[in-house]
Amino acid sequence: MKIANRISDLPPYLFVEVSKKINQKRSQGEDVISLAIGDPDLPTPDHIIDALKESLEDTANHRYPESEGLPEFREAVAKWYKNRFNVTLNPDTEVLPTLGSKEAIAHLALCYIDKGDIALVPDPGYPVYSIGTLLAGGESYLMPLKEEDGFLPDLEAIPEDIAQKASVLWINYPNNPTAAVATIDFYKKVVAFAKKYDIIVCHDGPYTEVAYDGYEPISFLEAEGAKDVGIEFHSLSKSFNMTGWRVGMAVGNAEVINALMIVKSNIDSGIFQAVQYAGIAALNGPQDIISKRNKIYEKRRDKLVAALTSMGLDVEPPKASLYVWAKLPDGLNSGDFATNLIDKANVVVTPGRGYGEAGEGYIRCSLTVSDEELDRAIARLSSVKISDLL
């Protein structure tokens, strides 16, 4: 049987390969600690679980949900955005519930990318931006994120002919994998660039609620004119420790939101309504749980940064996100480093090259393991010398 070219052309999804490597070691009875995947280990807050339990008893929630989601959920999203970012959203036209943000990111390409169209994609970046483009028949123009530029794309370096042809621009702050953050001035430049070239901006912002040292990330939609040119993807996954619940939202430009709703209504049947009610409880409920959770991550960050620095890696403590982005000594290959680290210490990190060519020379470590596991991982890292990983 011949599979479609769009499938055979896909690279292996990064975390599938990581999981295979972990499972292989564990099947041999070895204790492997993974710092590779950003999946919160802390539990979903009790009041959210209680809301789900109560909603499960209502048999109306056992039926098909509406593609556009519950009005109450859309209203809760709009209220949360107003309270958190002072961004005003029309819950009827500028909010779309999504099955987490990953599927919506992939489906966005089906709305605005035809065969041969160009998407401007960050490198390194979340693989789904380029994979969604590929599945839609488009081409990705990679924008290198350089340390000297604060891991922000240099929009002025994009060739004029590429900018003229581009349909979509992807940005993501706080950033995965680099943990970089963006300012309102940068977002204003993005808005001006998008208006100049008639490009749709897609901001992936699921890490705005994971921040440290008193820093508060901003929304792209806070920039003047942002809703004229694009949308923002967000999720309850990282904000409220709900990765497995698959509930998120796309918000912003009404025309783009409607196009995404048309695609999604023909592909999926929406979010289980009981989960939407749990999402309402999360958005409307106490928000101090976020700062308390972040204090736990902050302590983990400090310990991990110290350990990686002691190994000889160059690390800037992140202001936000679930990740520590560490620069390897010159000449070290990220894939070899990660493979050798598993062999020598049974600790898994993600090679930066997995996020794009510009990620070579770095590794990404996640803070989403228990304190006990992290301490054991740090002890193993402390026993390894850089020379052992060459």
CATH for 297: 3.90.1150.10
The answer to whether residue 177 is domain-embedded is: yes
Please say whether the dihedral angle defined by the alpha carbons of residues 272, 276, 279 and 281, taken in this order, is positive or negative.
negative
Q: Is residue 173 located within the same domain as residue 94?
A: yes
The answer to whether residue 13 is domain-embedded is: yes
Q: Rounded distance, CA 270 to CA 264, Å? A: 8
Residue 18: per-residue pLDDT = 66
Q: Is residue 146 located within the same domain as residue 215?
A: yes
The answer to whether residue 229 is domain-embedded is: yes
Torsion angle in degrees (nearest 10) through CA of 167, 172, 176, 182: 140
**pTM of this structure:** 0.94
Nearest to 255 by CA among 218, 201, 192: 201
C-beta separation of 231 from 256 below 8 A: yes
Q: Is residue 99 located within the same domain as residue 169?
A: yes
The answer to whether residue 389 is domain-embedded is: no
Mapping DSSP onto H, E and C, the string for 82-96 reads: HHHHCCCCCCCCCEE
Q: Which domain-ending residue is among 284, 308, 343?
A: 284
- Count of domains observed in the chain: 2
Run of H or E including 142: strand 139-144
How many residues can be counted in the chain?
A: 390
Residue 385: per-residue pLDDT = 78
Q: Which domain-ending residue is among 266, 284, 302?
A: 284
Q: Is residue 138 located within the same domain as residue 245?
A: yes
The answer to whether residue 65 is domain-embedded is: yes
Look up the domain containing 338 and give its range.
Answer: 5-44+289-383
The answer to whether residue 388 is domain-embedded is: no
Q: Which domain-ending residue is among 268, 284, 300?
A: 284
Q: Is residue 272 located within the same domain as residue 302?
A: no
Q: Is residue 234 located within the same domain as residue 339?
A: no
Please give the backbone phi and psi of residue 271, each rounded to the nearest 5 degrees, phi first: -90, 135
Q: How far apart are the first and last CA of the chain?
A: 42
Nearest to 249 by CA among 13, 111, 136, 80: 80
- Own/partner contacts of 191-194, CB < 8 Å, gap of 24 or more, are 191/223, 191/224, 191/225, 191/226, 191/228, 191/229, 193/155, 193/163, 193/169, 194/169, 194/229, 194/230
Q: Is residue 245 located within the same domain as residue 160?
A: yes
User: How high is the mean pLDDT in each 10-residue block of the chain (390 residues)?
Assistant: 79 67 80 92 97 96 91 98 98 97 96 95 96 95 97 98 98 98 98 98 98 98 98 97 97 98 94 97 97 98 96 96 96 88 91 94 97 96 79
CATH number for the domain harbouring residue 85: 3.40.640.10
Q: Is residue 280 located within the same domain as residue 299?
A: no
The answer to whether residue 193 is domain-embedded is: yes
Q: Is residue 168 located within the same domain as residue 304?
A: no
Q: Is residue 168 located within the same domain as residue 119?
A: yes
* DSSP secondary structure code for residue 289 in this structure: H
List Cβ neighbours of 330 (8 Å cut-off, separation of 6 or more).
361
The answer to whether residue 376 is domain-embedded is: yes
Q: Is residue 20 located within the same domain as residue 53?
A: no
Torsion-angle region of 331 (φ positive above 0: left; ψ -120 to 50: alpha; else: beta): left
Are β-strands 248-252 and 230-235 bridged in parallel, bridged antiparallel, or unpaired?
antiparallel
Strand order in the sheet with 323-327: 314-315, 323-327, 362-366, 350-351
Q: Is residue 246 located within the same domain as residue 305?
A: no
Q: Rounded distance, CA 227 to CA 250, Å? A: 12
